[in-house]
Structure 1
């Protein structure tokens, strides 16, 4: 048994870790290690990637390119390859993944299983919109090859299916052509939610990437920094040296606390609010600022942290977001890594996919036990009444009732569930 933690470091539980290095090895041996769960880089925050006291199938050995068409941008790869490996290999060739989240340190299999989203949902949708086909191994040995055109019901069960439909072996992805690794970006301060929504709406037609950091502790009205960017062609700028620093230790208490947080938020806002209007930035610090500091999750101390990410429908988005921020401020809790953004009008086809039209708020909270859970229950009530949803890739504690209102396709999804696969999350939300 090996002790494994999720990215939130809320628990440190024993797993029987099984390493697979070739597709043949998986096909020949998977059935011996069931029920189990595939795990890639372990970047999910809660228990979606854990299988406490059970088998965990490590997929990072399946990290090979199978083929790449330099003319069409179609990549055929194994599911354990990371987004960073794809980018650092193919961006110099003029090709990039169309959609990525706030980290490159995840596998293709994980990106599919969580149907991840980025800063450009209004323009290019979710990761699944650019998956051409998936090759899946069921624990009974059956191989299923599917796409939006072939075996499409299987495709949309796997997409966002949190790893419960089978072991993803391979995928074909459509990459996008780019002129270079540079982003023209702009930071605009805003001082209330009305300003945020006005910026979000007015930016969608001209800016592909939009996101905001919000200060949920220092002000009576929500203020923050609205960030927007476009990939740009530039030839006279040298690429920066990329940092690979590691957060050196786990402090005895969270460094994000009532004393430090107001200072952090004040300094971050004022350091960025008055930068020059536009700047040219390398894609890595623009899209993945935290990837430059490995193991940054240690800063929350030995008790770990929760991430709470919700999506609220547009028609009640402003009121519900305002109410959530008031509850957070009243609680005395707060988040430094607080992200507010809007999704576009397209809804993912994945039966359990999170991205959908609306407003999404993502917040990190140090684990303070019952006090933190009480806050989440209050936030749950707001999200539930608004008919919103919580992101499964981030969740560690939502109730079955909350899950069912956010994911009404669950009964259809369960028809495709592989009963040789289980997780700590599936047992919490489905009972098995």
Structure 2
């Protein structure tokens, strides 16, 4: 089947792509040519790690059963195509929550495993993969393997952050986290400089489950480095908000003919966003979707970047370099004439994932996104890469659509171990562009 419903979230390379159902793949796999397939979740990866344009995508999102949930232990078993939102719908009434959630609940659980996603509480809980109790993996040679930290261990940790390259994930067993309420007691701390942020983030992280900072990337002069740190903890059981707030009502039906998130509009937005928080610290209870997944309230918000799509750049770099490197990255983008709507800064903790290609590591991570302006945007992203690599950092592969093989090699020196365990039937545009372009 050929369909147009398989774009990545960045919408850089939009085209019809061939796909098969998981059932069809199970019938085809034994005769599969090398690199003929790749699992596809819900299309929330930003670049080409979810595409295989010389082969077929396996539409994992069509399998959406909750296979079992134990409200005593908080262990949930589900099909690979179940979204994180569906898990929350099942778990929250029993006072459980995802131990780690990324900025959208629309990702599939297999996608969360394959990218070993992180959230606002990496300093406290690490990555998603740390909470996976086990998974079932179908290899193209016909093996259906139960993988866990004790069974088929090597393949288990290759599958976590393995970007779908080790086989087709069929099901996942996940340990959820007991909470008094799904909603969040939020501490909004407005700061005027990055020095203020770096001066308080260690203490804030030690005191709170969640911590993330929004930065005004366009601020210049005396306003450079201003932002808001949003710390939080789960509210107590007396919280009066309904467990499952009303679903989103807004959506962007079509992509406008030009980028709506440009320098002019974002300067106005940033000013309003910064000023809406009072000076000092403001504490209030907020609903969990607004704290964890604010942009899920707007369907297809990525279309606001216009017909050429967007690039997202997420990097991680050592803590010692962060006070110097962070403002340089922001300034480099600003001077290049690129405005970032989602500019997020947070501190990763020291908990290790185990996933061979897991992106988080101790240090600070900065996320920027830019409307695609063609060659000028690519030049900027290459400059940002070089600055991060020089500091000993890394670039996030599942946010990427253009990093060089050399940058990937520096960021993930263990990639050859994943290549040894890769299912020969599975490959992605990203893997061919980076790993398979390097010496073996």
The interval holding the TM-score normalised by the smaller chain is over 0.9
Which residue number corresponds to residue 402 of structure 1?
407
| Alpha-carbon offset, residue 329 of structure 1 | 2.0
In 2: Cα distance, 1:166 partner to 1:242 partner: 34
Which residue number corresponds to residue 217 of structure 1?
218
Question: CA 1:429/1:273 → structure 2, altered by over 3 Å: closer, same or farther?
Answer: farther
In 2: Cα distance, 1:384 partner to 1:303 partner: 27
Written as runs of structure 1 = structure 2, the 5 A alignment for 1:350-361 is 350-361=355-366
> SS of the counterpart of 1:368?
coil
- Retained in 2: the 8 A contact 1:308–1:394? yes
| Alpha-carbon offset, residue 153 of structure 1 | 1.2
Q: What are the superposed Cα offsets for residues 58-109 of structure 1, whole Å, 9 maximum, x if unpaired?
A: 0112111111111111111111111000101210111111001000001110
Does residue 6 of the first structure (1) align with residue 5 of the second (2)? no
- Retained in 2: the 8 A contact 1:135–1:143? yes
In 2: Cα distance, 1:181 partner to 1:324 partner: 35
In 1: Cα distance, 2:161 partner to 2:125 partner: 17
Which residue number corresponds to residue 195 of structure 1?
196
Root mean square deviation, CA, Å: 1.6
Does residue 334 of the first structure (1) align with residue 339 of the second (2)? yes
Which residue number corresponds to residue 246 of structure 1?
251
Question: CA 1:179/1:60 → structure 2, altered by over 3 Å: closer, same or farther?
Answer: same
In 2: Cα distance, 1:376 partner to 1:416 partner: 31
> SS of the counterpart of 2:386?
helix
> SS of the counterpart of 2:417?
helix
- Retained in 1: the 8 A contact 2:211–2:231? yes
| Alpha-carbon offset, residue 2 of structure 1 | 2.1
Which residue number corresponds to residue 425 of structure 1?
430
Moved more, 125-134 or 226-235: 226-235
| Alpha-carbon offset, residue 48 of structure 1 | 0.7
TM-score w.r.t. structure 1 length? 0.96
> SS of the counterpart of 2:82?
coil
Which residue number corresponds to residue 28 of structure 1?
27
- Retained in 2: the 8 A contact 1:15–1:53? no
> SS of the counterpart of 1:44?
coil
Written as runs of structure 1 = structure 2, the 5 A alignment for 1:243-322 is 243-274=248-279, 277-322=282-327
Residue ranges of structure 1 left out of the alignment (5+ in a row): none
Which residue number corresponds to residue 371 of structure 1?
376
Which residue number corresponds to residue 70 of structure 2?
69
Which residue number corresponds to residue 117 of structure 1?
118
| Alpha-carbon offset, residue 236 of structure 1 | 5.1
TM-score w.r.t. structure 2 length? 0.94
- Retained in 2: the 8 A contact 1:62–1:80? yes
| Alpha-carbon offset, residue 326 of structure 1 | 2.0
- Retained in 2: the 8 A contact 1:225–1:273? no
Q: What are the superposed Cα offsets for residues 233-261 of structure 1, whole Å, 9 maximum, x if unpaired?
A: 14351324332321132111000112212
Which residue number corresponds to residue 154 of structure 2?
153
In 1: Cα distance, 2:138 partner to 2:277 partner: 47
In 1: Cα distance, 2:231 partner to 2:157 partner: 31
- Retained in 1: the 8 A contact 2:125–2:351? no
- Retained in 1: the 8 A contact 2:181–2:239? no
Q: What are the superposed Cα offsets for residues 264-318 of structure 1, whole Å, 9 maximum, x if unpaired?
A: 2112111234597111111111100000111000100000000000000112122
Which residue number corresponds to residue 228 of structure 1?
231
In 2: Cα distance, 1:30 partner to 1:245 partner: 41
Moved more, 422-431 or 403-412: 422-431
Written as runs of structure 1 = structure 2, the 5 A alignment for 1:29-44 is 29-31=28-30, 35-44=36-45
